[in-house]
Structure 1
Amino acid sequence: METYLVDWISLIVRWLHVITGIAWIGASFYFMWLDNSLEDPPQWKKDKGIKGDLWSIHGGGIYEVAKYHGAPEKMPEHLHWFKWEAYSTWLTGMVLLAVIYYLGAESYLIDRRVADLSQWQAVSLGLSFIVGSWVAYTLLCGSALAKNGWLLATILMLLGGGLAWGLSQFFSGRGAYIHFGAIIGTIMVGNVFQVIMPGQRKLVGALESGKTPDPAWGARAKLHSTHNTYLTLPLLFIMISNHYPMTYGHAFNWAILLAIVVITAVSRQYFVLRHVKINRPAILGAAIAATVVLAVMIAPKPAVIPETDVAAAQLAPRAHGIIRERCASCHAEAPTDDVFTTPPGGVMLDTVEQMQQWAPRIKARSIDSHDMPFMNKTEMTEEERAIVALWISAGSPAS
C-alpha cells in the first residue's frame, strides 16, 4: 500500500511539474521571440515613449503589443509579473526528486557497481552538488569574467563537463542525469529569483519615482536571461532522458550528456537568430549531423555470446527459468518487486508466449546493454545473459 501511495504522489507531482514547466518554458520562448520580433513603431508611438511594437493574431482576435523605453505615461494599476511559473516548476521538480530519487535512493540513485553509498550519503552528495553548483555559478557571474560572454560560456561549459563526470562517479546513470538537470533547473530559477525579479522591481521602483533606471540592472538580467534561454533545451532532454538508457546507461554517459547539452544549445541558437530575421540553416544542419554522429558512436555493438555447456534441448527451459527468476519480479501481471506495483512499460513476462513477444526488447535491454534488470537488483550473471542471448539467437523457441 505504501508503494501504491508513493506512485500516486509521484504521478500528481510529475503532472504538476510538466504543467508548470510548459507554462515557464512557453513564456520564456514567447518573450524571447517577442523581444526579437518588435518592429520600429510609427513616430506618434515613439513620441509616447514606445520602443517597438508588434501586431499579431491568435484565437480569432488581433493583438497589439508595445514595449516602452522606460515608463508609460501612467503606470498601470495591474502589472503582471512572470515568476510563479518558474518557482512552481522548480518546487515540483525538487519534490519529485525527493520522492523518487531520495526516498527511493536504493532503487534509483544508488548503483553499487558505481559507488557503494548509503542512502544518507547519496542524498547528502546530491544536495551538495546542487547547492555547490549554484554557488559556483553565482560567483562566476558576479566576477570580472562576466564582462566577456564567450569566455564565461567556455568556463561554464568546462565546469559542466567536470560536473557531469563527477556525478557519474557517484550515482547511477539515471541519478547522475537527473541531478545535472536539477542543477540546471536550480540555476535557471535562481536567475529568476535572485537577478531578474529584483532587477525588475528596481526598474519599476525607479520609474514610479521618476528616476532614471540603472543600466547595470538590465545588463545583469540580460546575461542571466540569455543563460536561461540556452539551458532550456538541455533541461527538456534531461526531463525525458530516463526513457532512453542508450544515453544514461552507456559507459561514457557523462560525455554523451555533455554532447547533447552542446547540440541542444546550438540548436537553440538557430531559433534565436531566426527571431531577428537571420537564417543560418548551417547551424541546425551541424546540430543534426552531430546528433547522427553521436548516435553512430554510441550504437551498441553486437553482443559476443560466450560458449556455454547448456545442451540444446535444455536451452529454452533454462532461458525461460532465468527470465522468470531475474525479470518477472517486476515484469509480471502482479509484480513481487518492492518498487513496482505494475509492470514497467506494460512488459509482462509471465508466460513463454510473452517472453517470445518481448524477446527483441530483452535482447536490447539485457544483452546488448545491461540496463535490465533494473540496476541489476536481481543479480543476473553474465552466464545467464549468455544463455538468454543464445535462446534469442536461436529464434526464441518455446521448447
Structure 2
Amino acid sequence: MDAVVVAWAEMTVRWLHVVAGIAWIGSSFYFIALDLSLRRRDGLPDGVQGEAWQVHGGGFYNMVKYLVAPARMPDEVTWFKWEAYTTWLSGFALLVLVYYLGAELFLVDRTVMALDPNAAIALSLGALLAGWLIYEALCRSPLGRNATALSLVGYVFLVAATWGLTQVFSGRAAFVQIGALIGTMMVANVFVVIIPNQKKTVAALLAGEKPDPALGAQAKQRSVHNNYLTLPVILLMVSNHYPLLFATKYNWVIVAVLLTLGPVIRHFFNARHAGKGSPWWTWGVAAAGLALIGWLSAAGPRDEVLGSGASPAPEFAAVEEIVISRCSMCHGDYAAWDGIPAAPKGVKLDTPERIRAHAQMIGLNAVRSSAMPPGNVTDIRPEERAVLAAWLAAGAPGPEQQR
C-alpha cells in the first residue's frame, strides 16, 4: 500500500481513536464518580440506592440510581456502549496500520527475537485472544468472588505477560501489545458482560419479572476493573513517544510500576467521590513510583553498556559514518526506507551540521535507549552505540573542533 495513503489513514484512524477514547473514558469516569457520590436520603422511591445533586452548565441535575432496576421499563434509555466499541475497533485498526503493515520496523526487533513478520503478527493476535481468555477464566473462577485475591492474581498475570512480550517483540511493540491486551479486556467487559447483563435486566422488566441482582453485581465488578485499568492503559498506548520507557533494559519492570500507580491514583479520586476523605498518601506513592521509573529508565538499552564519559572522544568522521549508514536512510531529505514517506518528526541526519544539531536526540534514542533504529533494521552494533556515547560525553564536538 502506498506510504502516503497509509500515513493519511493512520492520521484519520488515530483521530477517531482519540475522540472515541475521550468519550469512553469520560463517561466511565463520570459514572464511577456518580456511583460513589450517591447518598441515601428519606423519601427516595423504592429500589433506589441513593441520589446525588449536581450542577453543570448553568443547570441543576438530580441523579438517582436503582439498585437493580426500576419497577417499570422507562420509555427512553441511553445505552453507553458505542464509545467503548469504537475505541477498540479504531485501536485495532491502528495496530494493523502501524505495527502489522510496518512489522519489520515496529513489531519485530531482531536483537530480541528474529521473527518472520507474518509469524510476529500471528503471535500478536494469538496473545490478544489468549490473554483475554485467561482474564475471563480468572473472573469466572471461584477466585472471582474475592476482589482482593483476583486483583493480585490479575496483576501478576499482566506483569508476567509483559515480561513475555518483551522477550518476543520490540520494546515499542511490547508496550503497545500489553496496552492492547488490557484494552481488549476492558472492551470485552462491556461487550461480553456489562451490556448483555443490562439487556437481561431489561428483558426481565419487560416480561414483568424481577431482575436477578447477580447480573448487576457481575457488571459492577467488571466496571470497577475498567476504572482501575484506565490510567495505565492510556500511558501504555502513548508510550511509543517515550523511548526511555519502552526501549530500556528494565522496560517490563516499568510496566509493573505503571500497573501499580494507575490504581493508586484512581483510589484517591474514588475515595474523595465516596466521601471517605482524601488519601493524600497516594500522591506520595505516585511520586515515588515515577522516581523509580526514572531510575529504571537510566539503566540504558537492553543487553548493552553505555559508553563511559572517561572514554576518549572519537573522531567525528567515525560518528558521521555510523549515523549516515544506520540512520540517514529514514532521516534525510529523501527518506529511502519503504513505508517512510518523509523524515520522522522532521529530524534529518545526513550532514555534519544536522548530526550535531540533533546530538541530544541521537543520545536519547540510540544511546540511552535502543529505540532507534526501529527494530534495529540497520543492524547497529553495541560498539557503534558506544562510539556515539563517547562522542556525546565529550560534548558532541564537530570536525572543526577536533582540528
**What TM-score results when the alignment is normalised by the length of structure 1?**
0.92
Q: How does 1:189-200 map to 2 (within 5 A)?
A: 189-200=187-198
Bigger Cα displacement from structure 2, 158-167 vs 322-331:
322-331
Aligned counterparts of 2:332 and 2:396: Cα–Cα separation in 1: 22
Cα deviation, residue 14, structure 1:
1.1
Residue in structure 2 matched with residue 322 of structure 1 by the alignment: 322
Distance in 1 between the 2:16 and 2:258 partners?
A: 26
Q: Is the 8 A contact 2:109 2:374 kept in 1?
A: no
Q: Separation in 1 of the partners of 2:116 and 2:339?
A: 18
- Equivalent in the alignment of 2:87: 89
Partner residue, 2:333: 333
- Structure 1: gaps (5+ residues): none
**Letter of the structure 1 residue corresponding to residue 252 of structure 2:** W
Contact 1:303 1:368 in 2 (8 A): no
Aligned equivalents of 1:388, 1:72: Cα separation in 2: 68
SS at match of 1:365: helix
Does the CA-based 8 Å contact 1:83-1:197 persist in structure 2?
yes
Q: 1:47 to 1:117 in 2, by over 3 A?
A: closer
Between the aligned partners of 1:83 and 1:309, the Cα distance in structure 2 is 59
Indicate the SS of the match to 1:57. Answer: strand
Taking the TM superposition and a 5 Å limit, the aligned residue runs for 1:105-120 are 105-120=103-118
Change in CA separation of 1:382 and 1:66 when aligned onto 2, cut-off 3 Å? closer
Q: Deviations over 1:255-313 (max 9, x none)?
A: 21111111112211221111111211112211221221231233246632696896xxx
Q: Give the direction of change, closer, same or farther, for the CA distance of 1:339–1:207 in structure 2 (3 Å limit).
A: same
Letter in 2 for 1:31: F
The change in CA–CA distance for 1:71 and 1:124 in structure 2 (over 3 A counts) is: closer
Question: What letter matches 1:13 in structure 2?
Answer: V
1:280 counterpart residue number: 279
Q: Which runs of 5+ in 2 are unaligned?
A: 301-305
**Alpha carbons of 1:51 and 1:291: their partners in 2 closer, same or farther (altered >3 Å)?**
same
Once the two structures are superposed, residues 125-163 of structure 1 have per-residue CA deviations (whole angstroms, 9 ceiling, x without a partner) of: 111111111111111111111111111111111111211
1:110 is displaced (CA, Å) by: 0.7
Q: Which moved more, 1:340-349 or 1:107-116?
A: 340-349
Q: Tell me: CA distance 1:207–1:10, structure 2 relative to 1, closer, same or farther (3 Å).
A: same
Gap change, CA 1:218 and 1:394, over 3 Å in 2: closer
Letter in 2 for 1:267: I
Given that residues 359 and 396 in structure 1 are in contact (C-alpha distance below 8 angstroms), is that contact kept between their aligned partners in structure 2? no
Question: Against the structure 1 CA distance between its residues 209 and 374, is the aligned structure 2 distance closer, same or farther, given a 3 Å change threshold?
Answer: same
| Whole-angstrom CA distance in 2 between matches of 1:351 and 1:218 | 64
The DSSP-based 3-state class of the residue aligned with 2:238 is helix
TM-score scaled to structure 2, two decimals? 0.91
Q: Which amino acid aligns with 2:308?
A: V
Q: Which amino acid aligns with 2:375?
A: M
- CA root-mean-square deviation: 2.2
Q: Relative contact order: is structure 1 or structure 2 higher (C-alpha 8 Å, sep ≥ 6)? A: 2
CA distance in structure 2 between the partners assigned to 1:205 and 1:387 by the alignment: 69
**Are the aligned partners of 2:39 and 2:51 in contact in 1 as well (CA < 8 Å)?**
yes
How many residues get paired?
393
Show CA shifts across 1:53-89 (max 9, x none). 2222222322222223454465322211101111111
Per the TM alignment, residue 167 of structure 1 is displaced from its structure 2 partner at its CA by 0.9
Matches within 5 A, 1:1-399: 2-43=2-43, 46-47=44-45, 50-72=48-70, 74-278=72-276, 279-300=278-299, 303-304=307-308, 315-392=315-392, 393-399=394-400
Asked if structure 1 preserves the Cα contact closer than 8 Å seen for 2:3 and 2:340, the reply is: yes
Offset, 1:214 = 1.0
Q: Distance in 2 between the 1:49 and 1:130 partners?
A: 40
Contact kept in structure 1, 2:113 and 2:167, CA below 8 Å: yes
Q: Are the equivalent residues in 2 in contact too, given 1:181–1:238 (CA < 8 A)?
A: yes
Shift in Å, 1:29: 0.2
Does the CA-based 8 Å contact 2:250-2:299 persist in structure 1? no
Change (3 A) 1:271 1:81: same
Q: Is the 8 A contact 1:273 1:280 kept in 2?
A: yes
Structure 1 position 398, deviation (Å): 4.1
Q: What displacement does 1:370 show?
A: 2.8
Question: Which amino acid in 1 is paired with 2:191?
Answer: F
Q: 49-58 vs 230-239, which deviates more?
A: 49-58
Q: What SS does the corresponding residue of 1:116 show, helix, strand or coil?
A: coil
Q: In structure 2, do the counterparts of structure 1 residues 2 and 205 end up closer, same or farther at CA, with 3 Å as the change threshold?
A: same
Instruction: Measure, in 1, the Cα distance between the counterparts of 2:252 and 2:389.
Output: 28
Residues 49/389 of structure 1: CA separation in 2 closer, same or farther (3 Å cut)? closer
Deviates more, 1:60-69 or 1:153-162: 60-69
CA contact 2:308–2:389 (8 Å) conserved in 1: no
Letter in 2 for 1:145: L
Q: Distance in 2 between matches of 1:153 and 1:49?
A: 30
- What whole-Å deviation, never above 9, does each CA across 1:25-48 have from its counterpart, x for those lacking one? 1110000001111233441xx146
Matched AA of 1:287 = A
AA aligned to 1:333 is: D
Distance 1:386 1:134 in 2: 41
Deviates more, 1:197-206 or 1:71-80: 71-80
For residues 361 and 265 of structure 2, what CA distance do their matches in structure 1 show? 31
2:303 matched residue in structure 1: none
SS of residue in 2 equivalent to 1:246: helix
